[in-house]
A and B are shown apart, each in its own frame.
Chain A
Amino acid sequence: MERQSRVMSEKDEYQFQHQGAVELLVFNFLLILTILTIWLFKNHRFRFLHETGGAMVYGLIMGLILRYATAPTDIESGTVYDCVKLTFSPSTLLVNITDQVYEYKYKREISQHNINPHQGNAILEKMTFDPEIFFNVLLPPIIFHAGYSLKKRHFFQNLGSILTYAFLGTAISCIVIGLIMYGFVKAMIHAGQLKTGDFHFTDCLFFGSLMSATDPVTVLAIFHELHVDPDLYTLLFGESVLNDAVAIVLTYSISIYSPKENPNAFDAAAFFQSVGNFLGIFAGSFAMGSAYAIITALLTKFTKLCEFPMLETGLFFLLSWSAFLSAEAAGLTGIVAVLFCGVTQAHYTYNNLSSDSKIRTKQLFEFMNFLAENVIFCYMGLALFTFQNHIFNALFILGAFLAIFVARACNIYPLSFLLNLGRKQKIPWNFQHMMMFSGLRGAIAFALAIRNTESQPKQMMFTTTLLLVFFTVWVFGGGTTPMLTWLQIRVGVDLDENLKEDPSSQHQEANNLDKNMTKAESARLFRMWYSFDHKYLKPILTHSGPPLTTTLPEWCGPISRLLTSPQAYGEQLKEDDVECIVNQDELAINYQEQASSPCSPPARLGLDQKASPQTPGKENIYEGDLGLGGYELKLEQTLGQSQLN
């Protein structure tokens, strides 16, 4: 008897394990299919369906099959056991079943209405991941890659606008969506579709914040492929990257917003506490991410790890991951930390790596990003059918669609107007329309929505989010190419060509002066940061930049000598190029076709001009006033890039 039951349970476990394999296998096959389809599309230059859209379609089909073709098994496991002896729910439960003790691990709490017959279908249940997987496994590589591949030159040029869109824009969008949705919820209560106490204003704001995370991956891929204007690209990309970070922290601080007595009313103290939380978490995550990147930079600078590219890659990977885990362990947001870790790594550490490691890390994260992204989109397709607690509410969905458009408009147009007051190089109307159009929702919104699906409002939100993601990815993603032509946005501007133009145009006086002024006006803060970065941080953290002994005051001579690497003295000439290469176009997604052709002309050009403008430029940096210095520096940077090409 004892043996029999043991064999039984062993079989059960066996089954259990194999279910895991089958489930993963399904995803693997979906991804393989997606890859092959993408190849076919790329080969034939179809641009109306992006790989993520394809992944969703396949996920949807698979979900449909799983839902309606598999027989519900093991209904019994849906039964509920009453335990009178327990007064709370322990994290581990030991159950004694006919003299055999089993250990059960706490998974989650379910509300009563969720215990429906579907719970019994083992395959469907298996197909549903733990939502934390998204946050702990799949999103970090995506976000890190985004940070690591940020095209720095254009990014820093437009940093002011990007920050405005990301912070102010997300806040506006969150509040607008929240308010509109609150209106719809009130209407639904009137229409009798919803009970009064269910859906609070904080829930609406929560929905607004998670819906504010835009993810125009489809649009960006098309932009990249068609070589759309780099400024537009950078604005969109930078906004979407920072946007995610802001939305995550915002969502978190709204979800822990809990006023004391009346739990869902507005409370000024709690509100300010929430704002404090937001700032604290954001700053903490930022600091954590940058700190790890700086550690990595110092380690790679002061050890000769570059002799062993694999160790270097391993270290890079592990420390970047540590940034995530430390932030999580400290109660901050790992994803935000990872994002800033990626940005800092690209800025400093990347210069210290050996060329082999540069390629390796790039490819490694690119690969992980690709897989993770497609897994998430596949899962989205799957979840529409396999998730068991969908609540479809037509009014709510309609309201959400309306709300995201209005909110996007409220975010882009007024902010662009304000920004244009300050910018010399205006954001034209067609760019604004395009940005308005590119308000796609993607992985982050989904991950935030699926994180908590316990209560009824949350389930409704989840369903709505899913539908919104589908709609935006398919319709907007597919409509990008026509939209581009309709809005008459320049395409075919190759980034490298743009680089080539830059130095030549900047040598023309008129243009030169104009741009110089733009820079001086719009980014004074950045110029300061830039010169600080160039004079102190770069020399400390990397092998490049001027030696610290020249930039630091006299009295800290020993420290500066200690921190300056011998290379900085030796390779005064080479140094400046090394510093600036970073990952301008190297980190670009390189599975796009024929990007290699324009490589040769700029290289030649760079060599031609290398001798003349650089040497006078250098003195300017050290002696000239900050404004000019910053500008010359930038000029050199572009030169350096083209040389490297």
Chain B
Amino acid sequence: MEPGDAARPGSGRATGAPPPRLLLLPLLPLLLGWGLRVAAAASASSSGAAAEDSSAMEELATEKEAEESHRQDSVSLLTFILLLTLTILTIWLFKHRRVRFLHETGLAMIYGLIVGVILRYGTPATSGRDKSLSCTQEDRAFSTLLVNVSGKFFEYTLKGEISPGKINSVEQNDMLRKVTFDPEVFFNILLPPIIFHAGYSLKKRHFFRNLGSILAYAFLGTAVSCFIIGNLMYGVVKLMKIMGQLSDKFYYTDCLFFGAIISATDPVTVLAIFNELHADVDLYALLFGESVLNDAVAIVLSSSIVAYQPAGLNTHAFDAAAFFKSVGIFLGIFSGSFTMGAVTGVVTALVTKFTKLHCFPLLETALFFLMSWSTFLLAEACGFTGVVAVLFCGITQAHYTYNNLSVESRSRTKQLFEVLHFLAENFIFSYMGLALFTFQKHVFSPIFIIGAFVAIFLGRAAHIYPLSFFLNLGRRHKIGWNFQHMMMFSGLRGAMAFALAIRDTASYARQMMFTTTLLIVFFTVWIIGGGTTPMLSWLNIRVGVDPDQDPPPNNDSFQVLQGDGPDSARGNRTKQESAWIFRLWYSFDHNYLKPILTHSGPPLTTTLPAWCGLLARCLTSPQVYDNQEPLREEDSDFILTEGDLTLTYGDSTVTANGSSSSHTASTSLEGSRRMKSSSEEVLERDLGMGDQKVSSRGTRLVFPLEDNA
């Protein structure tokens, strides 16, 4: 096809070519769109011709139509794939030239937008050949319908429900209809890899260090933001009603629903820039952790708001019982999904531990993939939220299973999910661009849109600043003002908000929400995403902090690294104060869960009480005894995903690695010396101290191992 062909000279010579060549790339979608238009016109004319045929040719016509529809499916998928290809090439160009004002997702949206415009205004509308017939003998809809048309039987499958007012405007353009996906595709195919990857690549050390704050932001913050946005929007809706701009019903629950979906922040752009510039690790962990958990909370929140159905006639009034039921649903779904995800993660860990599957990396990878996918399906089948389950499954897999995998499988799974994540994300964003023009039921309401913009900023502010204040009361290592501003600034909306909004666009209110969400996503990704780099320098946020290099400078603030010196006491206290629940969890994890689920950790026979010795011996893997030499055992425990799972396509991370390796080479020796002396301590001493040592060693020993590998 020409577009791809044309892409070659455009970007091909760009390495040494003058900047004007750059302008060629944006022209390509135009070409692509033109090609599509021709294809659509051809198909329209051919199907039109088919329609004119006499009834004798009916069968042939239907068959032709099916073939034609398959061909159009191919064309529409091809559109997206070529869009993605273009995006990749442009990203490369941007990365190559270190252009940071536009992220790949923003770019994908722009390309999608261009093709959307062409499709919308360039393709001819095909005749609406849909017929409405009334069936009197039925009182409900079946998923399949068999229709007898003049002696021939046809099978129809249920596609969806249409509100009566929309019948006339049902998509008349075949091409537009083809490029509009079933919204469930997002939830069932595109989101799971994104979310799983997020869970799988969570930088665990920093994440667990800030877990309290992250949880507070994610749960409390999302709830606060949802209510504030909901209330503000309710005010806006009231205003619109007064001004007579509202043509259909818009209830308070709808406003809350909008609040819930728009609370799902997705600062992928900001995070990518952080990752590239190596911005402060804590800020990164806070933002990333918040956005990941945020999504989970927002999904469950929105589904429990949908489930909020008060008894009695007035279906949209406040009802305490129904409210508590909604809260119950929220908690039920959330914990159910959490359990489901964690359980499958644990099962995978056990399977990979007790079978010698690691001799066959392909089988191992396949098993890993299938188990993780099963989590999603299982949760969906049980009525929980698959996406949430997948998130926690990813975290558990990274925490336990990852240690049992063979080295090859580790890189395989990492890379597999990375590619899937990358493709899915860019696909969603280019679809968003397309949807602005190809989605046919947009309701643009300026007041609502302006209100929404104001509301999300207020909601974000009301969420970040007070919570940070409260958190700072408890935190030793305060969240600085510049961090707070940056977090406030990073309230981008992305794939999750879009997917939630497109899921249900049946009613007028939902359509208005969808349009508004789309615009908010565009605005935030382009403007805020583009403004990240200036904002970082304006707020004086440290950049160039490589996560691997991080511990030494931060030595004094939170973590004991050497276990001696004046700072250790303070750091020790910080740790004890801020996260004693976590310490408890951590030691439990280290003493019991890790040995049960992985090949590492102390053997269970030493940690479990004597009376369950048989069980302990049964569950402890032989490696643990062999690896009693602390050096191997302890550090394999901790490597996890620290630096491994970072996005590898960030440029110039290599240099930092080199410098840190020389730095850590010396300290690793020291560390191992220390360890010999302390290994007995770990096992015999009280939990708190032992744990302290372990964690301090963990941070140390990450690097040598990584360098060797």
Chain A residues with a Cβ under 8 A of chain B? 3, 5-6, 8-9, 12-13, 16-18, 20-22, 24-25, 28-29, 31-32, 35-36, 38-39, 42-43, 74, 76-83, 85-112, 115, 122, 125, 132, 292, 295, 298-299, 302-305, 307-311, 313-315, 317-319, 321-322, 325-326, 328-329, 331, 334, 356, 360, 363-364, 366-367, 370-371, 589-591, 593
In the complex, the answer to whether A86 meets B423 with C-beta atoms within 8 Å is: no
In the complex, the answer to whether A370 meets B377 with C-beta atoms within 8 Å is: no
In the complex, the answer to whether B415 meets A360 with C-beta atoms within 8 Å is: yes
B residues within 8 A CB of A6?
161
Contacts A93-B145, A302-B8, A326-B78 given; does A99 touch B95 at CB 8 Å: no
| B105 beta carbon closer than 8 Å to chain A | no
In the complex, the answer to whether A97 meets B366 with C-beta atoms within 8 Å is: no
B residues within 8 A CB of A329?
39, 71, 74-75, 78
In the complex, the answer to whether B12 meets A93 with C-beta atoms within 8 Å is: no
In the complex, the answer to whether A32 meets B367 with C-beta atoms within 8 Å is: yes
Indicate which residue in B93, B138, B142, B161 contacts A103 across the interface (CB closer than 8 Å): B161
Report the Cα distance A38→B363, complex, angstroms. 8
In the complex, the answer to whether A78 meets B156 with C-beta atoms within 8 Å is: no
In the complex, the answer to whether A110 meets B155 with C-beta atoms within 8 Å is: yes
Q: Which residues of chain B from 372 to 411 have any CB-CB distance to chain A below 8 Å in the complex?
A: 373-374, 377-378, 380-381, 383, 386
Report the Cα distance A115→B148, complex, angstroms. 11
In the complex, the answer to whether A364 meets B75 with C-beta atoms within 8 Å is: no
In the complex, the answer to whether A91 meets B61 with C-beta atoms within 8 Å is: no
| B454 beta carbon closer than 8 Å to chain A | no
Known: A88-B58, A591-B363. 10 other contacts (CB 8 A): A12-B143, A81-B147, A95-B145, A102-B141, A103-B160, A110-B154, A111-B153, A299-B8, A304-B92, A363-B415
Q: Mark B538-577, 1 if CB is under 8 A from A, else 0.
A: 0000000000000000000000000000000000000000
| B15 beta carbon closer than 8 Å to chain A | yes
| B249 beta carbon closer than 8 Å to chain A | no
Indicate which residue in A101, A307, A321 contacts B132 across the interface (CB closer than 8 Å): A101
A residues within 8 A CB of B153?
80, 109-112, 115
In the complex, the answer to whether A77 meets B149 with C-beta atoms within 8 Å is: no
In the complex, the answer to whether A94 meets B132 with C-beta atoms within 8 Å is: yes
| B134 beta carbon closer than 8 Å to chain A | yes
A residues within 8 A CB of B378?
21, 25
In the complex, the answer to whether A303 meets B89 with C-beta atoms within 8 Å is: yes
Q: Which residues of chain B from 396 to 443 have any CB-CB distance to chain A below 8 Å in the complex?
A: 412, 415-416, 418-419, 422-423
Binds A, one of B80-88, B320-328, B629-637, B673-681: B80-88
B residues within 8 A CB of A92?
129-130, 159, 170
Report the Cα distance A104→B146, complex, angstroms. 11
Contacts A17-B184, A86-B149, A107-B144 given; does A367 touch B362 at CB 8 Å: yes
Chain B residue nearest in CB terms to A84: B150
Q: How many residues does chain B have at the interface if contact means C-beta atoms less than 8 Å apart?
A: 110
In the complex, the answer to whether A109 meets B152 with C-beta atoms within 8 Å is: yes
B residues within 8 A CB of A21?
377-378, 380-381, 386
Report the Cα distance A20→B69, complex, angstroms. 23
In the complex, the answer to whether B148 meets A97 with C-beta atoms within 8 Å is: no
Contacts A36-B355, A85-B133, A86-B149 given; does A103 touch B91 at CB 8 Å: no
Indicate which residue in B134, B142, B360, B362 contacts A96 across the interface (CB closer than 8 Å): B134
Report the Cα distance A311→B88, complex, angstroms. 6
In the complex, the answer to whether B416 meets A364 with C-beta atoms within 8 Å is: yes
B residues within 8 A CB of A314?
84, 88, 419, 422-423
In the complex, the answer to whether A308 meets B162 with C-beta atoms within 8 Å is: no
In the complex, the answer to whether B156 meets A96 with C-beta atoms within 8 Å is: no
Indicate which residue in B69, B188, B357 contacts A91 across the interface (CB closer than 8 Å): B69
In the complex, the answer to whether B370 meets A102 with C-beta atoms within 8 Å is: no
Contacts A35-B370, A79-B146 given; does A94 touch B131 at CB 8 Å: yes
In the complex, the answer to whether A28 meets B373 with C-beta atoms within 8 Å is: yes
Contacts A310-B419, A364-B416 given; does A93 touch B370 at CB 8 Å: no
In the complex, the answer to whether A591 meets B143 with C-beta atoms within 8 Å is: no
Chain A: minimal CB distance from B330 (Å): 18
In the complex, the answer to whether A81 meets B148 with C-beta atoms within 8 Å is: yes
Task: List, sorted by A's number, 11 A–B pairs whose CB atoms are closer than 8 Å.
Answer: A31-B366, A42-B359, A87-B58, A93-B156, A97-B140, A107-B154, A295-B8, A302-B12, A304-B96, A310-B422, A591-B363
Indicate which residue in A39, A74, A125, A322 contacts B360 across the interface (CB closer than 8 Å): A39
A residues within 8 A CB of B419?
310, 313-314, 317, 360, 364
A residues within 8 A CB of B357?
35, 39
Report the Cα distance A366→B416, complex, angstroms. 11
Report the Cα distance A246→B156, complex, angstroms. 34
Report the Cα distance A165→B570, complex, angstroms. 78
Chain B: minimal CB distance from A132 (Å): 7
Considering residues B81, B96, B373, which has the most beta carbons from chain A within 10 angstroms of its beta carbon? B81
In the complex, the answer to whether B146 meets A90 with C-beta atoms within 8 Å is: no
Considering residues A9, A87, A95, which has the most beta carbons from chain B within 10 angstroms of its beta carbon? A95
In the complex, the answer to whether A93 meets B62 with C-beta atoms within 8 Å is: no
Contacts A93-B130, A303-B89 given; does A18 touch B161 at CB 8 Å: no
| B648 beta carbon closer than 8 Å to chain A | yes
Report the Cα distance A538→B357, complex, angstroms. 40
Q: Which 7 A-B pairs have the closest CB atoms?
A: A104-B156, A302-B12, A21-B380, A591-B362, A328-B74, A329-B74, A325-B78
Chain A: minimal CB distance from B555 (Å): 33
Contacts A89-B62, A591-B360 given; does A100 touch B148 at CB 8 Å: no
| B611 beta carbon closer than 8 Å to chain A | no
B residues within 8 A CB of A18?
380-381, 383
Q: Which residues of chain B from 99 to 121 have any CB-CB distance to chain A below 8 Å in the complex?
A: none
| B167 beta carbon closer than 8 Å to chain A | yes
In the complex, the answer to whether B162 meets A94 with C-beta atoms within 8 Å is: yes
| B248 beta carbon closer than 8 Å to chain A | no
| B77 beta carbon closer than 8 Å to chain A | yes
A residues within 8 A CB of B58?
87-89
B residues within 8 A CB of A104?
145, 156-159
In the complex, the answer to whether B355 meets A39 with C-beta atoms within 8 Å is: yes
Q: Mark B41-65, 1 if CB is under 8 A from A, else 0.
A: 0000000000100010011011001
Indicate which residue in A9, A43, A115, A364 contacts B140 across the interface (CB closer than 8 Å): A9
| B356 beta carbon closer than 8 Å to chain A | yes
A residues within 8 A CB of B95?
307-308, 311
Report the Cα distance A367→B74, complex, angstroms. 24
Contacts A21-B380, A88-B61, A88-B149 given; does A370 touch B362 at CB 8 Å: yes
In the complex, the answer to whether A303 meets B161 with C-beta atoms within 8 Å is: no
Considering residues A8, A89, A105, A319, which has the most beta carbons from chain B within 10 angstroms of its beta carbon? A89
Considering residues A22, A87, A97, A326, which has the most beta carbons from chain B within 10 angstroms of its beta carbon? A97
Indicate which residue in B88, B129, B144, B150 contacts A77 across the interface (CB closer than 8 Å): B144
Chain B residue nearest in CB terms to A9: B141
Q: Mark B1-21, 1 if CB is under 8 A from A, else 0.
A: 100110110011111000000
In the complex, the answer to whether A94 meets B78 with C-beta atoms within 8 Å is: no
B residues within 8 A CB of A9?
140-141, 161
| B369 beta carbon closer than 8 Å to chain A | yes
Report the Cα distance A245→B124, complex, angstroms. 37
| B690 beta carbon closer than 8 Å to chain A | no
A residues within 8 A CB of B143?
12, 16, 77, 122
A residues within 8 A CB of B130?
90, 92-94
In the complex, the answer to whether A303 meets B14 with C-beta atoms within 8 Å is: yes
In the complex, the answer to whether A310 meets B158 with C-beta atoms within 8 Å is: no
Indicate which residue in A78, A99, A103 contacts B159 across the interface (CB closer than 8 Å): A103
| B135 beta carbon closer than 8 Å to chain A | yes
Chain B: minimal CB distance from A80 (Å): 5
In the complex, the answer to whether B146 meets A78 with C-beta atoms within 8 Å is: yes
Indicate which residue in A77, A122, A308 contacts B92 across the interface (CB closer than 8 Å): A308
A residues within 8 A CB of B147?
80-83, 86, 89, 93
Contacts A85-B131, A308-B92, A367-B362 given; does A115 touch B78 at CB 8 Å: no
Report the Cα distance A364→B366, complex, angstroms. 11
B residues within 8 A CB of A115?
146, 153
| B139 beta carbon closer than 8 Å to chain A | yes
